[in-house]
Structure 1
């Protein structure tokens, strides 16, 4: 355990929604929900204005609309999120060489490696205050909540105590006093299932957890988990900040508005996803050995199937062939609501000649005896909402704006940018040749664009 509060955790508040409010002046101060906008969509992020009405991440969009019908419901603009995240991560790496990103919007920073002269509570508080101001400057006004402590566990918990725009520094020696009154759910690894087991054992708070002997915890939740919980309940966490987090997999998945039963359509979607995964592998200069398909059926049961190659590949044809074959192992006749393709077992090399004669030995249609799907049928599903709410567009006459909504052959656009102030609203035909997606924006739903 460290003797000084030298681990900093920064978490950008309501990140996706905050970026949308920054870039869309008419939405500032209003409830904004980012995620899947269809009937089966899921909330990715809700602004604090929407959270007042009970909207939360991972909630179904249907329930969110019932709780807050007047919110703006937008699909994700991942290019904008990544660009903003890069600015923050560059800022953090300028502070310390040891930065561990956890996602686009949060990271750990090791202040002990930053060469600071003063690592006292007052000294790191001053550093954190400057960092918050710098984050706001490089992101165009976004807020980040910061926690600083002697461990990752306490720093992450501290960053969540005074949101939004909070700053909590936990003095050394006070960690257990901070944790004891908190719900046991603040401990990493205590999800709903573990929390229920602990509740049955009379454990509700971290204080309760601290009072449970190690052998009893092992009996309740298992050896590895019980040992970890015993340590965490005592703020015993010596995990280091790791500068490079290895990418474990690259994947793409999509949730569909209606249950899909056409086998040709399912194969077409899987092949499209396999193509996207292979493209991302090549862009990242990676290859992988294990191809996995994820299939969620109409009754919400989820099936995964995997196949491992003798050597890593980034070949679209190979990934697609295996994905189609794996899809065939699952009975999808009742309908499919989600499909995904992923590649794991990653490496930074490819055995080029292993698949050189692929087309001679494995035809592109291997694993299927069905006729190819017409291109327009696939497009009807994958581009069912070509003008997605929130996406950036440009009009030849009116300039830059974003999609407010679309339907019955029309698309409504509000013409404004981060620097213009609230702008006017105009409606056009969906096929208006003067209207086009802005550079860098795509038609894909946010469910189709996870970080690998």
Structure 2
């Protein structure tokens, strides 16, 4: 019988370049070559979903415009995603997880949290379980995964990225706080380039710098996220692994640490948001007729604009391009934007055609 542990045992499993790795596994001609899975560079609004490690050496990253990726690596191969294949592999990975625990929280097709505080096989060691899972994935599916093991979700997720690809990193209870103190702020999960730049402008470069600030100071600078930073630099994260976590909304949005002022940087952020919405559509096997853009300005005024299509859609380029057109129809150089969001709605079979063909006055450009 396993003893009752003082700390939880959390594993974060993250597949290595998942979509690209599946393509290279299934297509020998792609192996060893820079491969980009996503929109084609000759298309409109195409973005990178995943790049192989050979392509990443050239600086190609997820959510990057495909045209930019092609400029970085002209010899790269571009292929469209095969989500049915990825979902099938993802289900097999999930079956491997379930041999050890039922507390599994998928974050996407290629990553998940596992709580193995009390594992099914009474192994007791989270490190050993993580290694067994990695071995099973490699032997049964011919793919590699990286694992992070720690006492909470935040640290486990960061740990899984440390030794990629095919890595395994353990950060034990006694090491968590020192690890967080030495962690560069840009390595904090959820801290993007804009927030990291803002932190550095305040001379905050590592977790220890954040730790030196009071909770009040952190919330003053970073809003509600300041509370989270205050706890996490001390190794505190009480979030539980949620085995029945489901995406209820096919929408995504982002609030920016700095207000966006140029159309170019707004469109770059829309590409990233569109990619998230696209992934959720594929995961739920849904198509929608209405694309809605949400915009919140620096003065907290909020607007939405939408376009409806006669036929349901789920392709990334249409979502991305339509969102940019909606934005352009409302853009003013005098207005600064603090939040952007994209959603799809009107799923299912057609009911009344006019319900799906309603287009706002702002969309006459279509």
TM-score bin, normalised by smaller chain: 0.7 to 0.9
Q: Structure 1 residues 47 and 304 mapped into 2: Cα distance closer, same or farther (>3 Å)?
A: closer
Partner Cα distance (1:155, 1:99) in 2:
14
Distance change in 2, residues 1:306/1:12 (3 Å): closer
Task: Give TM-score scaled by structure 2 length.
Answer: 0.73
Q: Is the counterpart of residue 91 in structure 1 residue 113 in structure 2?
A: no
Deviations 1:72-98 (A, max 9, x none): 111111111111111001111221011
Q: Which TM-score applies when normalising by structure 1?
A: 0.60
1:137 and 1:321 mapped to 2: Cα distance?
53
- Report the Cα offset of residue 136 of structure 1: 1.4
1:270 aligns with 2:309: yes
> How far apart, in 1, do the equivalents of 2:13 and 2:342 lie?
37
Q: Distance in 2 between matches of 1:305 and 1:130?
A: 39
Superposed CA deviations along residues 309-359 of structure 1, whole A, max 9, x for unmatched, are: xxx9844225x644422x3343341x6xxxxxxxxxxxxxxxxxxxxxxxx
Report what 2:357 is aligned to: 324
Question: In the alignment, is the contact (CA less than 8 A) between 2:11 and 2:116 conserved in 1?
Answer: yes
1:283-362 paired onto structure 2 within 5 Å? 295-297=323-325, 314-317=348-351, 321-325=354-358, 327-333=359-365
1:28 matches 2:60: no
Determine the C-alpha separation between the residues in 1 that align with 2:235 and 2:154.
7
Give the Cα separation in 2 of the matches to 1:219 and 1:185.
Answer: 20
Q: 3-state DSSP class of the match of 1:132?
A: helix
2:303 corresponds in structure 1 to none
- Residues 15 and 145 of structure 2 are in contact (CA less than 8 Å); yes or no, is this contact kept in structure 1? yes
Equivalent in 18, 22, 29 of residue 19 of structure 1:
22
- In 2, the alpha carbon distance for the partners of 1:64 and 1:157 equals 26
Q: Distance in 2 between matches of 1:210 and 1:94?
A: 39
Q: Is the 8 A contact 2:329 2:363 kept in 1?
A: no
For 2:92 and 2:62, locate their aligned partners in 1 and report how far apart those are by CA, in whole Å.
24
Aligned residues: 295
SS in 2 for 1:91: helix
Partner of 2:218: 217
Judging changes above 3 Å, is the alpha-carbon distance between structure 1 residues 59 and 304 closer, same or farther for their aligned structure 2 residues? closer
Task: Give the unaligned 5+ runs of structure 2.
Answer: 251-280, 282-286, 290-305, 316-321, 331-339
The alpha-carbon distance between structure 1 residues 50 and 213, as it changes in their structure 2 partners (threshold 3 A), is same
CA–CA distance in 2 between the matches of 1:60 and 1:229? 31
Shift of 1:238: 1.1
Matched, 1:154 2:155: yes
Q: Distance in 2 between matches of 1:233 and 1:17?
A: 34
Instruction: Report the CA distance between 1:182 and its aligned residue.
Output: 1.9
Q: Name the CA shift for 1:329/1:246 in 2 (closer, same or farther; >3 Å).
A: farther
Moved over 3 A (4+): 2-5, 115-119, 250-254, 298-308, 312-315, 320-323
For 1:162 and 1:307, the matched residues in 2 are separated by 37
Aligned to 2:245: 245
Structure (1/2) with the larger helix percentage = 2
Q: Is 1:188 equivalent to 2:189 in the alignment?
A: yes
Aligned to 1:359: none
Alignment RMSD: 3.0
The answer to whether the Cα contact below 8 Å between 2:41 and 2:70 also exists between their aligned partners in 1 is no
Tell me the CA shift for residue 99 of structure 1. Answer: 0.4
User: Which ranges in structure 1 are unaligned for 5 or more consecutive residues?
Assistant: 255-265, 278-293, 336-452
Distance (Å, rounded) in 2 between the aligned partners of 1:193 and 1:67: 23
How far, CA to CA, are the matches of 2:130 and 2:344 in structure 1? Answer: 47
Give the greater-gyration-radius structure (CA).
1
**Matches of 2:342 and 2:354 in 1, distance apart?**
13
Once the two structures are superposed, residues 246-297 of structure 1 have per-residue CA deviations (whole angstroms, 9 ceiling, x without a partner) of 231245589xxxxxxxxxxx97x712126x79xxxxxxxxxxxxxxxx6321
Alignment correspondent of 1:80: 85
CA distance in 2, matches of 1:77, 1:243: 26
Decide whether aligned partners of structure 1 residues 179 and 270 sit closer, same or farther in structure 2, where only a CA change above 3 A counts. same
* TM superposition shift of 1:156: 0.4
